[in-house]
Amino acid sequence: MRLRLPGERPTEPPTGYKIAHPVLSQDGTRAAFTGVSLGGALPYGVVADASCVYGLRHAAPHRRCDCGFHCVHDRSVAEELLCTAEHRAAVLLEVLVLGRYIRFERGFRYARQRVRTATVGPCACGTTAVALTDAGWGRPGWHALAPSCAGCLRGRTSVSLAGFARLAGDGLRVAASGGGRAGPAGLDASDGLGVPELVAEAALLQARLDWFQTQLARLGEPGSGSAGNG
């Protein structure tokens, strides 16, 4: 006789944690996330439904398959995944587990999710991030993004944390954590812009302005080809 665990009927959706890479569409009009393992080639939005990554027609999650979204119960376990070299630029997501799910010892595998918050780590230089910038890789039609401070943008494709939240929509909140130097820490990028969000936007614009001024100065240097010869 096969024994089965009793079915769960929670009064509220369970909460879980996972890591993912933020991505920006090629035309800059949409923001989403892509996973770090199974299904990593398929970006998903703030509210998304899972499908079988193997192309099978069963509903996810299936008991005899690995399909479905995955998350862990404890935030600290998800944070530990950010220590690996390949995941240093990923962000920490807090998600609501919706629809059908299968509970495991350390987490869930489930059919539908809503990303509530995305916590962005520090820039590679150690400063608190104010933006997400081109990470140098991506998926077809999508640029992968990595945390960046204002000083490290250098004219690359980028979006502020508040801007990413607006493009993603559905009430996503984006927060910056970590960083060894002063900056707009604790940035909370909800639909409404407060003082921290405006400070981050101003820092992003200033960094872009500094980059353009540097390029203009180079064009004006002797021998740059900007002045006529003879």
Q: Would 3 be classed as within a structural domain?
A: no
| Residue 96: per-residue pLDDT | 97
pLDDT at position 193 is 53
| Structural domain includes residue 130 | yes
Average pLDDT for 55-60: 89
**Segment among 54-68, 141-155, 177-191 with least mean pLDDT:** 177-191
Residue 4 placed within a domain: no
Residue 229, in any domain of the structure: no
Domain annotation covers residue 179: yes
What angle in degrees, to the nearest 10, is found between the helix axes of 195-219 and 161-168? 110
Which range, 33-42, 90-99, 145-154, 217-226, has the best average confidence (pLDDT)? 90-99
In a domain? residue 227: no
pLDDT of residue 111: 95
Rounded to whole angstroms, the Cα distance separating 197 from 187 reads 6
195 domain-assigned: yes
pTM: 0.77
Whether residue 184 is predicted with pLDDT greater than 60 in this model: the reply is no
Q: Which residues contact 23 (CB under 8 A, 6 or more apart)?
A: 31, 32, 33, 34, 43, 138, 139, 142, 143, 144, 145
Distance CA 226, CA 215 (A): 12
Is residue 228, in this structure, part of any structural domain at all?
no
Q: What is the residue range of 30's domain? A: 15-214
For residue 227, the model assigns a pLDDT of 46
Structural domain count of the chain: 1
